[in-house]
Amino acid sequence: MSAEATNPGNPEAADRRRGRPRPALRGLRRIGRAALLGPAARDGLPDALEHVAKVHRRHHPDADLDILSKAYQRAESSHRGQTRKSGEPYITHPLAVTLILAELGAETTTLTASLLHDTVEDTDMTLDQVRTEFGAEVCYLVDGVTKLEKVDYGAAAEPETFRKMLVATGNDVRVMSIKLADRLHNMRTLGVMRPEKQARIAGVTRDVLIPLAERLGVQALKTELEDMVFAVLHPEEYTATRHLVASYAGRPDPLAAIAARARAILADAGIEAQVLVRPRHFVSVHRVLLARGRLTAADLGRLLVLVAEDADCYAVLGELHTCFTPVVSEFKDFIATPKFNLYQSLHTAISGETGDVAETLIRTHRMHRVAEAGVIALGDPHVPTDGADAPEGERADPTRPGWLDRLLTWQRTTPDPDTFWTSLRDDLAQEGEITVFCTGAAADDPGGTIGLPAGASCVDAAYARHGEAGHGCIGARVNGRLVTLGTVLHDGDSLHLLMAQDSAGPSPQWLDHARTPAARLAGPDHAATASGLAVADLPGAAVRLAGCCTPVPPDTVTGFAVRGGAVTVHRALCPAVARMAAMGRQPVGVRWRGAGPGGPGCRVTLLAEAFSRPHLLPDLTEAIAAQGAAVVSAAVEPPHEQLVRHTYTLHLPNAAGLPSLMRAMRDVPGVFDVVRATTTVRS
C-alpha cells in the first residue's frame, strides 16, 4: 500500500508538459507544507490536519476531531524519518488519502483508519496497538487495508493480492474506499515512474479499480481515475480530446442558455431547484465523439437539476418536457429502479430554441451525494450481526451490492489465483446488473430476488440461488412460460426454477449458457473437467469437483458418493470432508488421471500484452518452451502506440504447470500482463 513518489519540482507544470489531467492540488499542497513543519498544533489541532478537518466538518458538523488529531499525531510519529521519492515526508500520503475521503463525505472512523492505513505495514506499529489506542472498529479497517499488501504489478502476486482485497472488503466496503483513495493519490503522483511501469499500473487501474469504483458508486473517484488512465495508456487520443475541448473555449455556451431558461421556468412553477452545467470529463467527451462521430458545444457537458424531495424530481421533469422539446428515447427513470450501485436519478434530454440538445440529470441533493460518493456517502452502516446462526465476527452491511456478494462467493471456490484474476476481470467487465424475482421451488421456499449481471441466463440464476445444488436444475419458467435453460434473463423477470431431487451433475452443454464466474466454476465447466482429470474407485460413477473447494491437480483429494450415483471430489483439507466424516459418511478413493501428480495434459490459450521491442516473439517462445509447453498456434497483432498483443494456444504436459507458465511469461522483459483468453479444456 506504500505510495509512489511524487514529481520533483513543480507538479502542475510537469503534468501540463506531459499532457496529463491537473489534479486538485491546492489542499494537498497545504497539508504537505504543514507536514514539513511537524505536528505543531493550533487550538489543539495539528496544522497539517486543519484542511482535512474543515472539509470533514462541512459534511459532519458534529464530528469529534480529537480522534483524528490523535490518529494524525500517531501516524506522523510512526512514519517520521520516512520520505517519498520526491523528498516529502511520508505522512503527506496518508494525509492526502484522508483528504480525498473527507471531500467525499466519509465518516470519522474511515478517516481515522485512513490516516493509519500504512502504519502496520510500513512502521513498527502493530494491530494490537491500533486496537488499544483507537478501538476495534478502526483496527478492523486498518487490518483489512493491511491485508491487501503491496501490489507487485505484472507479477504472479497481483491476482492473489486482489483476491485478498475482496476477502478484506467482504464485510466492510470502507476498506475498499480507502484502497480506491490510496490508488487515486498514487495515480496523481505517477509521473516519475518509467513509462512501462506507468502503463502497467494504469492497466490494472483500468481493469479492476475503475470498475470497482463504478460498482461502489464512487463516481468522483472513477471519473478522475479514468482521465488519468486515458492520459497514460492513450496519450495521443487524450491530447486530441484536450485540444478539441479547448477549441470551444470562448465560444457561446448553448448549455448556459438552456440552463438559464430552465431556471426561469422552474421558478415560475414554484419549484425550488438548482440548475447547473456539469462539464464532461475527457473520457466521457471521447466516448461521445466515438459514438456520434462529431461533437457540438452542447456535447461538452450536461445539465444537473438538484431539488429537495423525490416528488420534486418528477415535477421538474414535467415542466421541462412541457416547455422544451424532449428527446423521448433518452428518458430513463433510475429513481423508481435504482442502478446496482445505489445510483438514483432521472435522465432525459431536451432541445433548446436553437436546436441544441442538452442531456439532463434530475435528482435530489441526497441522490447527488450518493451519485458522487456512492457507499462512502452513506455513513457507517456496519453493526455486529446478532443471532446464534451468525458466524463469529460476521458483520451486516445493508449497503453491500449483490455483485460483491457474488464475487465473495466464487472467489472462495477458486484456489488458482490466475483463474480468479481472469474471472474477476470478466465479471467486472459486465456493463450492468439486473434484478430477477424468483418464485419458490418448493413449498418451504419463500422465493426472493437475486441480482445478476446483464446477459445472465437461467443457468446463472440456478447457481446464484442454489450454489452447487444448481446442478439439479432441469428447467425454468420465465414470466410463466416454459423456456430453455439458456434463455437470457432481463431486469424484472419472474423466474421459477424447476429442480430435481437427485442429480448426477450438470450437463456439459450448460457451459455454452453460463455467463457468470459462479456458474462456470461451480457448474458444467468444472464438472466436465473433473470427469476427465479425476478418477473414482467406484466403477461407472460420474465424477465432479466440489464447488466449495474446487480441487485442481496436484491437490490431495478425497471423494464422497452423492445422490444419483455421482462422486464429488474435495480437497483433503476441505472443511466439508471433516463434517461428512463426523456424520459417518464413508469416503471414496479418487485420484488424478495420468502418471505423476500433475495429471493429464491440457490445452490453453493465453494473451500476452507487452511493449513492442525487437526479439520479443523469440524470447516469449523460449520462455514457453522452458516450461515444457508446446506452441500449437500463435498470433501477433500489429503494434499500436508501441503496445503489442500476442495470443498463444499452448499444450501443457500437465494442468498444474499453468500458473508457473504464466509467471514465466510475465517475467519476459517488456511483458506487463498475461491472462487466459479461453477456458482450459482437456486435450
Catalytic positions are 121-122
Which amino acid, one-letter code, is at 604?
A: V
Please say whether the beta carbons of 460 and 516 come within 8 A: yes
What pairs with residue 631 in β-bridges?
Answer: 650
Q: Are strands 448-453 and 45-46 parallel, antiparallel or unpaired?
A: unpaired
CA 232/CA 672 separation, integer angstroms:
14
Please say whether the beta carbons of 425 and 207 come within 8 A: yes
Q: Is residue 586 helix, strand or coil?
A: coil
CA 467/CA 609 separation, integer angstroms:
35
CA 463/CA 204 separation, integer angstroms:
29
Backbone angles phi, psi at 386, to 5 degrees: -90, 165
Tell me the three cell numbers of residue 237: 487520443
Indicate the helix (H) or strand (E) that contains 561.
strand 557-561
Please say whether the beta carbons of 541 and 481 come within 8 A: no
Cis preceding linkage at 554, omega within 30: yes
Indicate the helix (H) or strand (E) that contains 247.
helix 235-247
Q: How far is CA 213 from CA 176, 209, 243, 543, in A?
A: 9, 6, 28, 40
Q: Is residue 46 helix, strand or coil?
A: strand
Instruction: Work out the burial of residue 231: count CB atoms within 10 Å of its CB; fewer than 13 is exposed, 13-18 middle, 19 or more buried.
Output: buried
Which amino acid, one-letter code, is at 230?
A: F
Please say whether the beta carbons of 174 and 113 come within 8 A: yes
Name every residue whose Cβ is closer than 8 Å to that of residue 611 and which is 6 or more positions away in sequence: 196, 199, 642, 643, 644, 670, 672
